[in-house]
């Protein structure tokens, strides 16, 4: 059996796998867990990040306003299912005024490293790049320098240093709704200066795994297991009806995370339910956050649905790794 090398989380949101289900991932029966008007003046709430906090959970949520302005909001929950999202967007402090200028902010990830919660997001600065900030309490937020030059998206920090360095996955892009995208790993001694960029994995050009043939991007922060780093990611196929986003997984080497040990040939989750197929951007499942319980191997994944609402699905470390090994994509 595989083991999560993560803390115990006995209050993880959870539903058992339905009888007769063969898929490695199953949906929360009350999805969407966060609806588009959970914040009354929002157009949509999706692609958001959730972490354990105190005796419950906290999150950083993408809330597009009814003017379709994209920004980040803090929120809190006792059970990870019912959320109270703040009325006003996060106001960052601490960075150079040039960096604090806001163009847009969206698609946050959050992870706890050492003594604080780090936030990464797609930050508008003459095009999309990776913003980095941190908080101790989800009330006061400090912004650091942008990680990279434009254009980049899907910046995802590893939850601990590797070889004494911070590590981040990202997906270089362009100014448009990118029609390409591979995943790279970068490291930094101080979260300001990033280098040693290494290719991790790219799209697959062939019909044996066509669901990830247009672009891919990292999802939640990688999850440490006894076999390596478990990464959930999105893969995109460009169809005659537009992009379709699905969820896959990969296992990365623990010490050299740019080396892929296993990668899913088949997707783990695809748009099937109405709330995943119909919305502002149809046919999207977009994983952004994962809660884990190290004692049981349980994993709860929050994902954006059709760029409109937030869904929740479940798996275990054994279910996912067994699926990866059985359906490994040989490159």
Nearest to 231 by CA among 190, 163, 175, 288: 288
Mean pLDDT across the chain: 96
**Is a pLDDT exceeding 80 seen at residue 287?**
yes
**In the CATH hierarchy, which fold is given to the domain comprising 39-326?**
Tachylectin-2; Chain A (2.115.10)
| pLDDT of the residue at 316 | 98
Evaluate whether 285 touches 211 at the Cβ level (below 8 Å): no
Could you read off the pLDDT of 186-195 as tens digits, one per residue?
Answer: 999 999 999 9
What pLDDT was estimated at residue 177? Answer: 66
**Residue extents of the structural domains in the chain:** 39-326
SS3 153: strand
Tell whether the model's pLDDT for residue 175 goes beyond 70: no
Residue 68 has pLDDT above 70, yes or no: yes
- pLDDT tens readout for residues 193-248: 999 999 999 999 889 999 999 999 999 999 999 999 999 999 999 999 999 999 99
Q: How many residues does the chain have?
A: 331
Q: Is 222 exposed, middle or buried (0-12, 13-18, 19+ CB in 10 A)?
A: buried
SS3 85: strand
Q: What is the mean pLDDT of residues 252-263?
A: 98
Confidence label for 95 from pLDDT (cuts 50, 70 and 90): confident
CB 236 within 8 A of CB 219: no
Q: What is the pLDDT of residue 206?
A: 86
CB 267 within 8 A of CB 261: no
pLDDT at 176 over 70: no
Q: Inform me whether the pLDDT recorded for 72 exceeds 90.
A: yes
Give the pLDDT of residue 331.
64
DSSP-based three-state secondary structure for 101:
coil
Residue 174 has pLDDT above 80, yes or no: no
286, 46 contact by CB (below 8 A): yes
Compute the distance between CA of residue 284 and CA of residue 53 in angstroms, rounded to an integer.
28
Q: Is the pTM of this model over 0.85?
A: yes
pLDDT band per the 50, 70, 90 thresholds, residue 180: confident
250 burial via Cβ count (<10 Å: 0-12, 13-18, 19+):
buried
pLDDT in tens, 106-132: 999 999 999 999 999 999 999 999 999
Percent of the chain with pLDDT over 90: 94
How confident is the model over 83-96, as a mean pLDDT?
94
Q: What is the mean pLDDT of residues 307-317?
A: 98
């Amino acid at each position: 059996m595989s083991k999560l090398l993560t803390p115990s989380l006995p209050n993880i949101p959870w539903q058992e796998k339905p009888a007769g289900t063969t898929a490695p991932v199953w949906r929360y029966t009350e999805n969407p867990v966060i609806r588009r008007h959970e914040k009354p003046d929002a157009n949509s709430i999706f692609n958001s990040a959730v972490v354990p906090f105190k005796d419950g959970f906290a999150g950083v949520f993408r809330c597009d306003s009814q003017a379709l302005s994209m920004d980040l909001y803090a929120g809190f929950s006792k059970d990870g299912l019912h959320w109270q999202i703040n009325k006003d967007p996060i106001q960052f402090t601490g960075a150079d005024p040039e960096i604090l200028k806001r163009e847009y902010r969206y698609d946050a990830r959050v992870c706890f490293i050492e003594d604080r919660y780090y936030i990464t997001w797609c930050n508008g600065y003459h095009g999309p790049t990776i913003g980095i900030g941190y908080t101790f309490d989800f009330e006061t937020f400090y912004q650091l320098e942008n990680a990279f030059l434009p254009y980049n998206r899907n910046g995802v920090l590893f939850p601990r240093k590797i070889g004494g360095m911070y590590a981040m996955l990202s997906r270089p892009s362009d100014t448009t709704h990118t029609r390409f995208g591979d995943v790279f790993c970068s490291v930094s001694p101080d979260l300001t200066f990033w280098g040693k960029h290494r290719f991790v994995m790219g799209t697959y050009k062939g019909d044996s795994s066509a669901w990830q043939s247009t672009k891919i991007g990292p999802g939640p922060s990688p999850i440490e297991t006894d076999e390596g780093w478990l990464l959930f990611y999105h893969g995109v196929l460009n169809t005659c009806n537009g992009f379709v986003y699905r969820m896959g997984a990969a296992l990365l080497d623990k010490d050299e995370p740019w080396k892929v040990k296993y990668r899913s040939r088949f997707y783990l989750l695809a748009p099937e339910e109405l709330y995943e197929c119909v919305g502002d951007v149809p046919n999207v499942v977009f994983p952004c956050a994962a809660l884990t319980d190290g004692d049981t191997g349980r994993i709860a994944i929050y994902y954006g649905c059709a760029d409109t609402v937030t869904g929740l699905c479940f798996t275990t470390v054994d279910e996912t790794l067994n699926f990866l090994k059985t359906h490994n994509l040989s490159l």
